[in-house]
Amino acid sequence: MNQTETAIEFKGVSKTFGNFYANRKLDFSIRKGSIHGLIGENGAGKSTAMKVLFGVQPADEGEILVNGKAVKIRNPVHAMKLGIGMVHQHFMLADSETVLDNIMLGHEPSTFFGLLKRGKAREELEKICKNYGLKFTKWESRIRDLSVGEQQRVEIIKLLYQKSEVLILDEPTAVLTPQEVKELFENLRKLKQEGKTIVLISHKLKEVLEFTDSVTVMRRGEVVGTKTTSETNEDELAEMMVGRKVSFTYQGPRRILSSQAVQPKSVLKFISERVSVELRPGEILGVAGVQGNGQTEFLKALSNPSVYGEKYFKGKYDYLVNGREIGDATPLQLRNMGVGLVPEDRLSEALLKQQDMTENFLLGQHEDPRYTGLGLFGRMINRNKVKAAVEKNIQAFDIRPPFSTVWTGRMSGGNQQKLVMARLLDPQPSILLVAHPTRGVDVGAIEKIHEAIMMERNLGKSVILFSSELDELIDLCDRMVVFFDGRVHGEFARKEFDPWAIGKVMGGA
Amino acid sequence: MNRMMKASLKSIAGVLLGLTLALIVCHFAGESPWKVLKVLFQSSFGSGYDFGMTLFYAAPLFLTGLAVSIPIRAGLFNVGGEGQLLIGALAAAYAGVVGKNIASPVAAVLFATAFAFVAGGIWGLIPGILKAKRGSHEVITTIMMNFIAAGLSSYVTLYLIKDPESSQAETMLLPEAFHLKPFEKFAGAPMGWLIFVLIALVFVIHYWMWNSVRGYELKAVGENEKAAETYGISKQSAWMFAMFMAGGMAGLVGVVEVLGNAHRFKLGFSADYGFVGIAVALLARGNILGIIPSALLFGILQKGSASLDLETDKVTRDLSYIIQGLIILGVVAEGLFEWRKKAKNA
Amino acid sequence: MNIFKYRPLVMVSSVFLGMLLTDARAELKVGLVLEKSGKDDKSFNASAYQGLKRAEKELGVMTKTVEAPDNSAYESLQRAFAEKKFDLIVAIGFHQLEAVKKNAERFPDQKFLLVDEDAKKPNVRSVMFEEHEGSYLVGALAAMHAPSGKVGFIGGMDVPLIRRFQMGYEAGVKKVNPKAQLIVNYLGVTGEAWNNPPKAKEQALDQFQRGADVIYVAAGNSGMGVFDAAEAKKKLAIGVDSNQNWIKPGYVLSSMMKRVDDSVFETVKMMKDGKFTPGLVRVGLKSKGVDYALDQHNDKLVTADDRKKLEAIRADIISGKIKVPDYYISMKKK
């Protein structure tokens, strides 16, 4: 095989939305039979570039070469005909149908009378798996009964069945355990050996460094450069991505906990049949686990027991904050007891997107006597005081754009999250429930957010940190519980933190 | 505020677009657009009487506009203004029966006003409760409540407090104390100080929506139910409150009609105020203060539709309905354009 | 809403307006204010409109017709006519009572004709129809054509006026067949009831299903649905207000006509002759203000024998031998 042959080449491809360049003069090529990483922060233009390649959106200028030939890709069906296939971040599978039917969808071999030839399709699929060394046998299972890793494999097999030569994977590891990640990349390597080209879109530098042959870095819609993976390192890629030097691990001070001397009383206790967790003063307790293993329900019960305590734990639970039973407290009561929250999903749970920063800052604080008081028409908001507080926080957290009248929906993920953090810390809570604080946040803001969390800990506050990024938990936490199948399946002290061991527990071992 | 200015400019553009289309239609129907405009203007501002009538048509729309705009804040679409105003008007008429011994006009008017507000409010609250407790869609339930209100008001009018002297479907005449005095200047148009009270009411509601904690809660629920819940705002209570207020506002139409105009409840008095209120709120784009010009515009059009029929050869009543329709369409079409732009950029 | 449809009114009124601008000849000007349902209701308002058109043609007066968009518009429309110095303002329908009263006071020299209510003002001629007498007559006719002994009544909105129709009709039916059974339906309690032919058709089909042979409908525009149902079931219907026999010839037994057209025409004629008299005029069978319709469309349905019987009843009512019950009076007694 000719190693220099290119599968895909972008030549001066631009895509604009109004005045905004989502992609500006992209120039890079992907070698046939390689694993090629495409990295960049959120909004750097990776997804747009791939949408152009997959025919979802037409390019405004420039051309794309497939196997050396310039083609105008009209739509996804056309892209598939050209041998380009894509595994989306959210799988495009019909939950209640079988694996076989899902794979055949759109490519059904059928008889003259339109009857499906399932047997023939299955034979062909088994042959594909054998050829590429993929292990899969659950052809007749329904999609909803498969694990996330298995669903992803179905997506990949589907592409192979459609005879795709170039496989684009959009953030494929976001939902996988470390074990599943390893398995995925083993499979991808086998595909590569059989001559397939793989494009890996990711924001995780580690896996890009570990598994790719070459990597293209994007920033603000432009290609910063393409590197051979073996000739670069994490710091260099990060600097290319962000435009300045960044550190990925928390470098600041870490106060030593005095827990060894006396067994400290816990500040928060949640005891139920399946989940029992205690939070000690001054610690960051991590909650790890693959998405959908009960962490969401646990956080809901913690942050709004009045609604979700009953719903998820059927009344058989004890919830104590500072020794007080609060099994049916409302979010506002919790707040008054010094419990603060950063919800799981910023956009759907934490923000009013079509309101400005002031209105968002008030959310949850709308009965705080610092900002409201009795007036002529009931309880009224003191707008001047809120505005002053918001402006102070804009300064303190370096929120951009620095205007309190900006709609939060128009701010970047990082700045939105800084506002959410500012709102969390404003009433000076002693217990912080923080979920996915850096999801969809750019690298620069991650640093700031991590610093803020550690600072609270060092001030003696206690934190429960929910995250799907194991690295983040390992970096920040003092202790970690791992969720699996709706229960606490394992617990690790900081000195026992080992991604491999934790990953095993996440997978149910 | 910049954003507000932009929104009102868009509304004005929509109205102008609709008006232009309407005038083009008039032109093709054989009527001079210039004359149509002149008739519209004169019929609404030509004399004290005309202006008073325009205000008389606009006054209920202030209230029904609020009845739509308040729940929209909380994410609810109240189509039940018509039923709520019927019940409110009926209650105002009933207040006259119950309180026939009240001699002080101030007390009588306040008494009837409270009746109208609470009765309309309860009529709005019922769909609010159904939404909060059972999840029933408010559009369906408010429409159903409209039918029930129509039936109930006929029954009460014809069988409970009917005027025995009249062969028409109307209730007994209210005692003198309940009558609101119109301005002399309006030369017979049934509108007086009430119009200033209503305008003040719109301002108060605007201020209250913007600055009260309750108003904030409605907004938060309307904008993002999940976030509101996460941060301890009960959507159930917000919905019920919003619908009660909406019903109460629509119910106050009873004050305009029963105390201000007919001094009794007459079946069929409403010129579809409840439904036109939806258009009024739409044109105001959810901005409470926007209801004032928007309601005035629809008042002018309602007054003008009869005058156009009278004053021109070719523009009949039906054609003036088309003009109204086109203006609403102009506003909505502009919104549609906006939406398409958004969809394209997403 | 076929606004581009050719309408004689448009032409006539433009001619009128044109002349108004160029010619100051002192001609009689008559303004007609119709109810919401308008001149196309094929019924009450249509009848008034036809009367005015006849006056225009035969008496050479100038006319202008407007349709009210809502129940609060009557006053301003009448007022606009008065301010334009029209000689006579014709207000159709009981809804206009209050407005006529106010305007009659405001413009004491202005002449009004009010139909269906009594304004009790010195410058208003009020015409009220004895609908119960006409209904009695068609009730008798219905009973003659109901071998099963079952007849139907469909009313529009449930208001006293329509109850008056019903009561007279029922008495007429019972006069001919004391054992007859009457099936009654009302279309609704809102203004929509006057304009809901589909619902009227449903109710009529139901009544026919239950054995009614003839249905008398007093429901404005909704009546069309009843005529459709009669045709579909090959049964009979009786129309109201105008002569509606032509709508479904062979299935409309007759129509209880309120001669609004005659009243309008005659009042205009009085004006023209300078003999306008104010005050209440009750028109019933005697003055032919109400009547059953007989024309080429129902010639074959109403037999000579029927006619003889009906004329006998008419004579008895006029002479006072038969007392037709009046809902208005019975209502006031309650």
Question: Which pLDDT score is estimated for A9?
Answer: 92
Inter-chain residue contact B213 with A330, CB threshold 8 Å: no
* Residue B268 contacts C, CB cutoff 8 Å: yes
Q: By the 8 A CB rule, do B322 and B276 touch? A: no
- Widest pairwise Cα distance in chain A: 82
Residues 6+ apart with CB under 8 A from C201: C225, C226, C228, C229
DSSP A264: P
- Residue at A407 is within a domain: no
Of residues A400 and C235, more confidence is placed in: C235
Q: pLDDT tier at A259 (50, 70, 90 boundaries)? A: low
Ramachandran area for residue A55 (φ above 0: left; ψ -120 to 50: alpha; else beta): left
Which residue in B311, B277, B308, B313 sits closest to B295, CA to CA?
B277
Half-sphere CA count of B130, side-chain side, radius 13 A: 16
Q: In which domain, by residue range, is A188 found?
A: 6-242
For residues A355-373, give the mean pLDDT.
Answer: 93
Q: How far is A445 from chain B (nearest CA, A)?
A: 23
Distance in Å, alpha carbon of B303 to nearest chain C alpha carbon: 8
pLDDT digits (tens, 9 = 90+) for C181-192: 999 999 987 777
SS3 B3: helix
> What is the percentage of chain A residues whose pLDDT exceeds 90?
37
Are A146 and A138 in contact, with CB atoms under 8 Å apart? Answer: yes
* Confidence at residue C2, expressed as pLDDT on a 0 to 100 scale: 44
Looking at the structure, tell me whether residues A281 and A142 fall in a common domain. Answer: no
* pLDDT at position A328: 87
C73 touches B: beta carbon within 8 Å: yes
Per-residue pLDDT at B330 exceeds 90:
no
CA dist., res. B109 & res. A415, Å (int): 54
φ/ψ of C38, rounded to 5, equals 80, 180
C-alpha to C-alpha distances, A440 to A469, B255, C150, nearest whole angstrom: 12, 55, 78
Give CA–CA dist A4/B8, Å, rounded: 60
A417 within some domain: no
Chain A interface includes B229 (CB < 8 A): yes
Whether residues B227 and A351 touch (CB distance < 8 A) is answered with yes
The predicted pLDDT at position B93 comes to 94
Please answer yes or no on whether B302 and C70 come within 8 Å at the CB atom.
yes
Say if residue A32's pLDDT is above 70.
yes
What is the arithmetic mean of pLDDT over B300-312? 86
pLDDT band at A421 (very low <50, low <70, confident <90, very high): very high
The verdict on B89 touching C (C-beta cutoff 8 Å) is no
- Does residue A212 lie in a domain region? yes
Confirm or reject contact between C116 and chain B (CB < 8 A): no
Interface contact flag, B227 A355, Cβ < 8 Å: no
Q: State how far residue B346 is from chain A, nearest Cα, in angstroms.
A: 9
Total domains in chain B come to 1
Cis previous bond, C122, omega within 30 = no
- Residue A310 in domain: yes
User: To the nearest whole angstrom, how far is the Cα of A351 from the nearest Cα of chain B?
Assistant: 6
With cut-offs at 50, 70 and 90, classify the pLDDT of residue C6.
very low
Is A402 domain-assigned? Answer: no
Closest-CA residue to A166 (of A63, A91, A64): A64
A touches C, CB cut-off 8 Å, minimum 3 pairs: no
C323 touches B at CB < 8 Å: no
Residue of chain B nearest C96, judged by CA positions: B168
- Pull the structure tokens for residue C67: 């349709």
Distance of CA A267 to the CA centre of its chain: 30
**Is A233 in the same domain as A330?**
no
Find all residues with CB under 8 Å of A300, minimum gap 6, and list them: A307, A308, A311, A312
* Residue B233 lies in domain: 32-70+77-312
Q: Is B158 an 8 Å CB contact of chain C? A: yes
Best of C12, C81, C159, C333 to mutate (most B CBs within 10 Å, chain B):
C159
Assign domain C8-129+260-283 to a CATH class: alpha beta
At A324, is the secondary structure helix, strand, or coil?
Answer: strand
Rg (CA), chain A: 25
Min CA distance, B317 vs chain C (Å)?
7
Residue B233 in any domain: the answer is: yes
Site from A342, A352, A372, A424 to mutate, B interface, most B CB atoms within 10 angstroms: A352
Q: Do C77 and B168 touch (CB under 8 A)?
A: no
Hey, of A48, A56, A377, which one would you mutate to test binding to chain B, going by the most B CBs within 10 A of its CB?
A377
Mean pLDDT of A206-222: 89
For residue B138, the one-letter residue type is E
> What's the average model confidence in pLDDT over A112-121?
75
Residues A238 and A288 in one domain: no
The pLDDT tens digits for A292-330 are 888 999 999 999 999 898 888 886 889 999 889 988 899
A310 and A232 in one domain?
no
Answer yes or no: do A212 and A302 share one domain: no
> In chain B, which ranges are continuous DSSP H helix?
2-29, 33-45, 48-73, 81-98, 105-129, 138-155, 194-211, 213-223, 225-230, 235-251, 253-254, 273-284, 291-311, 317-345
**Out of B57, B150, B188, closest to residue C106 by CB:** B188
Q: Which residue of C has its CA nearest to B52?
A: C76
Q: Rounded to whole angstroms, how far apart are CA atoms B157 and B87? A: 11
**pLDDT tens profile A278-292:** 999 889 999 998 888
Q: Indicate which of C32, C190, C195, C328 best probes the interface with B, i.e. most B CBs within 10 Å of its own CB.
A: C190
Greatest CA separation for chain C:
67
In a domain, B320, yes or no: no
Closest Cβ–Cβ partner in B212, B224, B345 for A379: B212
Q: What is the mean pLDDT of residues C285-295?
A: 89
For residue B265, which of B89, B29, B69, B58 has the smallest C-alpha distance? B89
Mean pLDDT of chain A: 87
Q: How many residues does chain B have?
A: 346
- Tell me whether residues A352 and B224 touch, CB distance under 8 A: yes
Are A211 and A144 part of one and the same domain?
Answer: yes
User: In this structure, are A95 and A222 located in the same domain?
Assistant: yes
- A436 φ, ψ to 5°? 40, 55
For A84-117, where are the alpha helices, taking DSSP H only? Answer: 99-104
Predicted model pTM: 0.81
Confirm whether B15 is domain-assigned. no
pLDDT of residue A263: 58
Closest chain B residue to the Cα of A386, Cα to Cα? B211
Candidates B204, B207, B208, B211: best to mutate against A (most CBs of A within 10 A) is B211
* Interface touch B223/A353, C-beta < 8 Å: yes
Whole-number average pLDDT of chain B = 89
- Is C69's CB within 8 Å of B317's CB? yes
Rounded to the nearest angstrom, the minimum Cα separation between A193 and chain B is: 38
The answer for B 40-79 residues in CB contact with A (under 8 A) is none
If one counts the domains in chain A, the total is: 2
For residue A361, give the nearest of A421, A305, A307, A317 by alpha carbon: A421
pLDDT tens digits for range A467-488: 988 888 999 999 999 999 889 9
Residue pair A84/A163 in contact (Cβ under 8 Å)? The answer is no
Bridge pairing between strands C214-218 and C236-241: parallel
B310: nearest Cα among A490, C69, A238:
C69
B342–A contact, CB cutoff 8 A: no
The CATH number covering residue B182 comes to: 1.10.3470
Over the stretch A422-464, which tens digit does the pLDDT of each residue have? Answer: 999 999 999 999 999 988 787 778 888 998 999 999 998 999 9
Taking an 8 Å cut-off on Cβ atoms, the answer to whether C72 and B151 are in contact is no
Together in a domain, A454 and A340:
yes
CB B325 within 8 A of CB B24: no
Q: In this structure, is residue B328 part of a structural domain?
A: no
Q: Is B310 on the interface with C (CB under 8 A)?
A: yes
Q: Nearest CB to C13: which of B155, B313, B319?
A: B313
**Is the pLDDT at B6 greater than 50, yes or no?**
yes
| Percentage of chain C exceeding pLDDT 90 | 57
Does C131-257+303-333 match C8-129+260-283 at the fold level? yes
Spatial separation of the C-alpha atoms in residues A199 and A156, rounded to whole Å: 13
Give the CATH number of the domain where residue A339 resides. Answer: 3.40.50.300
Q: Is the pLDDT of residue B344 over 60?
A: no
Q: What are phi and psi of C320, to 5 degrees?
A: 90, 5
The more confidently predicted of residues C151 and B316 is C151
Nearest CA in chain B to C4: B29
Is position B335 within any domain? no
Q: Tell me which chain A residues have a C-beta less than 8 angstroms from the C-beta of B75.
A: none
Minimum CA–CA partner of C81 in chain B: B310
At residue B151, φ and ψ (nearest 5 deg) are -65, -45
Residue B239 vs residues B76, B229, B243, C292: alpha-carbon distances, Å: 8, 13, 6, 58
Residue of A16, A363, A370 to mutate when probing chain B, most B C-beta within 10 A: A363
Q: Determine the pLDDT at residue C5.
A: 46
Q: Tens of pLDDT along A22-31?
A: 888 999 999 9
Check pLDDT > 80 for residue C4: no
Residue B201's pLDDT is 97
pLDDT-derived band at B345 (thresholds 50, 70, 90) equals very low
Q: Are residues A229 and A314 in the same domain?
A: no
Write down the pLDDT at residue C7: 47
* Domain ranges (residues) in chain C: 8-129+260-283, 131-257+303-333
A148 and A293 fall within a common domain: no
Chain C residues within an 8 Å CB radius of B321: 1, 69
Is pLDDT at C41 greater than 90 in this prediction?
Answer: no
Please determine, for residue C3, whether its predicted confidence score (pLDDT) is greater than 70. no
CB pairs below 8 Å between B and C: how many? 106
Domain range C131-257+303-333, its CATH number among 3.60.40.10, 3.20.19.10, 3.40.50.2300, 3.90.1720.10: 3.40.50.2300
Which amino acid belongs to residue C30? V
Read off the pLDDT of each residue in C215-231 and give the average, rounded to a whole number.
92
Query: Considering CB atoms only, which of B56, B313, B316 is closest to C17?
Result: B313
B: neighbours with 3+ CB pairs under 8 Å?
Answer: A, C
- Contact list, B220 vs chain A (CB under 8 Å): 352, 363, 366
**How much is the average pLDDT of C230-243?**
91
Q: B154 and C158: CB-CB below 8 Å?
A: yes
C94 interface with B at CB cutoff 8 Å: yes
> How distant is the Cα of C312 from the closest Cα of chain B, in angstroms?
31
Report C:152-211 residues touching B (Cβ under 8 A): 157-161, 188-191
> What sign has the CA pseudo-torsion B85, B87, B91, B97?
positive
The alpha-carbon gap from B287 to the nearest alpha carbon of chain A, in Å, equals: 14
Has residue C19 got a pLDDT over 80?
A: no
As a whole number of angstroms, the distance between CA A232 and CA A229 comes to: 6
Helix ranges (H only) for B159-193 are none
pLDDT: is A377 or B125 the higher one? B125
Report if residue B260 sits inside a domain. yes
Please check whether residues A94 and A207 belong to one and the same domain: yes
Cβ neighbours, 10 Å, residue C66: 25
Total number of residues shown for chain C: 334
3-class secondary-structure state, position A105: coil
Q: Compute the distance between CA of residue B248 and CA of residue C13 in angstroms, rounded to an integer.
A: 46
Using pLDDT thresholds of 50, 70 and 90, give the confidence band for residue C114: very high
